[in-house]
A and B are shown apart, each in its own frame.
Chain A
Amino acid sequence: MDSKDIILDVKNLNTTFISDRKKIRIVKNVSFQLKRGSALAVVGESGCGKSVTMNSIMRFLGRNAIIEADKIQYNALRDGKVTEYRLEQIDKPHGPEMRALRGPEMSMVFQDPMSSLNPVYKVGDQVAEGLLQHNKGMTKAQAREKVLEMFRKLGIPDPEERIDCYPHQFSGGMKQRVVIAIAMICNPELIICDEPTTALDVTIQAQIMELLKEMQTKDGKSIILITHNMGLVAEMADEVCVMYMGRVVEFGSLEDVFDRTSHPYTQALLRSVPVLGLADGQKLETIPGATPNPADLKGGCEFADRCPFATDACREKDIPMFQLSPGHRVRCLKYKDYPVAEGGEAQAEVAEVQ
């Protein structure tokens, strides 16, 4: 697969946070590829590093984060030609190189629309800001037109009046549409959605997810959806990336992960989704134990203490990634008879605590 088909190629991404002179690795050797025009769901419990991974790619983390990777490659496709951007080589997180990509190429939809919008500026101005930043010749009137267009496209009623309103005058669902407008206004190819509907009502959730799905199917955008809601994954995703404690534990197409579930954690995750029609007396499945503290982890598989299939070998060393079928890989010793996936060798552990 070449760079025309792959829009984002991440290889061995490691993010370490420094706090009080201690270093804690939150994202460990994460690798995945996003196919152009497809939707990738990144799932896992709260705190498993999904957001940190995406924020590392977009370089939204603060100065106390160290981001290292073999490759974070973004392939922009314009007029049939591919331009490769090696994001891991850009050293300034908010320098001109990253900023040129934010908006026209890559954008993010954030979780909480209540706090994601600046309360003191009109929404129209906030959406137009990115547009005017990347289109130096555009006039304010032209930008206003584009914003109105976008509002109509996203189903915001009375756009001519709404464009001059302040964020606090909108409902939650409308605010999220404004956030999506901000993300989409410069027509980026890659949209990362960080739990975009967690803070919204279920009915609004459905509307927003539909919007996002349309962008993928009709406009050909590539979407990464971070979520812990397996139901949404089933509706939206073409491929699924399951993360646990900062590592990718399973990666595959939607059918691979849902029908041919391989990793014990993924199995537990799918079993724990509440389903209508439970039999009387049937208990809701949970995963035993609790998410460990990243600072407390020793070697080996992070899931071992909660895994029903764990053996002593699981706790000894890092587990490599095994290739089960083309496009489906899993990080579990249950499958050690399968070939090791390309680039999935167990990496040497970086010293956790200094």
Chain B
Amino acid sequence: MLKFILKKLALMIPRLLVISLAVFVGLRSTGIDPITFMVPPEVISQQPEMVDQLREDLGLNDPIIMQYFRWLGNILHGDLGLTNKGESISGIIATRLPYTLELSLYAMLFSSIIGIGIGIISAIRQNGFVDYLGRVLAVLGQAVPQFLVGILLIWIFSIKLGIFPSGNRVSPDATNAFMDAFMHLFLPVLTLTIGMVAVLMRYARNTMLDVLNSDYIKTARSKGIPEWKVYLKHGFRNAMKPVLVILMFRIPALIGGSVVIESVFSYPGIGTAMTNAVTNMDYNLVLVITLIIAAVMLICSFMVDVFNALLDPRVRLGE
């Protein structure tokens, strides 16, 4: 088992490197001269030699590969570089990443519990109230764009009812840090959860139905064990693996969704940082954030492999 984990981890590193190289080259090839962000335009036109010297000193004339390795070296030393405006990228990441993680993890947690729960109940009590409600929610959830859901929630709960704040993460006059977090996180997490639940519910239901139609469920019943054990020990236990795999595959959508939702709620996370970076053509920042996201994706795919092995003896012990 340990060997399995280590092998999978080892595979992640070359992938990350390839991605980082591809993104680096891609961004550098846009032909935007980083000098233009560092030096005022008058200086560029009036003092071209000094600017050239600056270029030389910064290594901007070197071949791309060399620049890449220099950049990689810096990254590994913890120096993430500077934005166009000269801010430390590490600083930006350090403040914003935890906020985004908060948002995503809570959304994952709640949408898993609710989505998988509703899905499983829908499978057990087919055509019951929960099943019907679930199907309606799923249909609507897939048609209405997520950001619109966010706007709608803001309109209802923030503007009309005045319960929750309409954006940001920290209120300057907050007394209770926990309550402050809760109030600010509630609506964005709810928005993301609604989007995820709509999809998870259907997959969980279908997976559970497939499992409940299996022959070993009949065998379980033939032993005379109570129905709840049949559903839990035999049904759910077998549905867990495919459902968890599906959950992991929804994480890219969750991250994409967070980027948009952070915009809706003016939430100070990685998403809004990325949006601003792209708008301002701040390539250093785009590069770093893209790589962070790539790393998260690779970790998720690694988790899928681990879950696969943990939950299915056929994978663990080989067929």
Chain A interface residues (CB < 8 Å from chain B): 58, 60, 94, 98-104, 107-108, 110, 112, 115-121, 126, 129-130, 133-134, 166, 168-169, 179, 182-183
Contacts and interface: CB of A to CB of B under 8 A. Distances in A.
A119 B313 contact: yes
Contacts of B238: 118-120
Interface string B233-245: 0100110000000
A110 B215 contact: yes
A110 B223 contact: no
19 contacts: A60-B222, A94-B227, A99-B224, A102-B222, A102-B223, A102-B224, A103-B222, A104-B224, A110-B218, A110-B219, A115-B214, A118-B220, A118-B234, A118-B238, A119-B216, A120-B311, A120-B313, A133-B224, A169-B317
Given A60-B221, A168-B313, 9 more contacts: A102-B224, A107-B222, A110-B219, A110-B222, A112-B215, A115-B214, A119-B238, A120-B311, A133-B223
Contacts of A58: 222
B317 A99 contact: no
Interface in B185-238: 214-216, 218-227, 230, 234, 237-238
Contact of A119 (B224, B225, B226, B314): B314
Nearest to B126: A63
Q: How large is the interface on B (under 10, 10 to 19, 20 to 34, 35 or more residues)?
A: 20 to 34
Contact of A166 (B224, B234, B317): B317
A135 to B, nearest CB: 11
A168 B304 CA distance: 22
B243 to A, nearest CB: 14
B312 interface: yes
B76 to A, nearest CB: 42
Greatest chain A CB density within 10 A among B224, B238, B319 is at B224
B312 A120 contact: yes
Nearest to B311: A120
B222 A108 contact: yes
Contacts of A120: 237-238, 311-313
Contact of A183 (B214, B215, B222, B317): B222
B225 A130 contact: yes
A143 to B, nearest CB: 13
Contacts of B225: 99, 129-130, 133
A133 B221 CA distance: 11
Contacts of A126: 219
A110 B227 CA distance: 20
Contacts of B317: 166, 168-169
A117 B224 contact: no
Contacts of B222: 58, 60, 102-103, 107-108, 110, 182-183
Nearest to A106: B222
A199 to B, nearest CB: 11
A134 B224 contact: yes
A101 B216 contact: no
Contacts of A100: 224
A349 B317 CA distance: 56
Contacts of A103: 222-224
Given A120-B311, A120-B312, A169-B317, A115 B216 contact: yes
A116 B311 contact: no
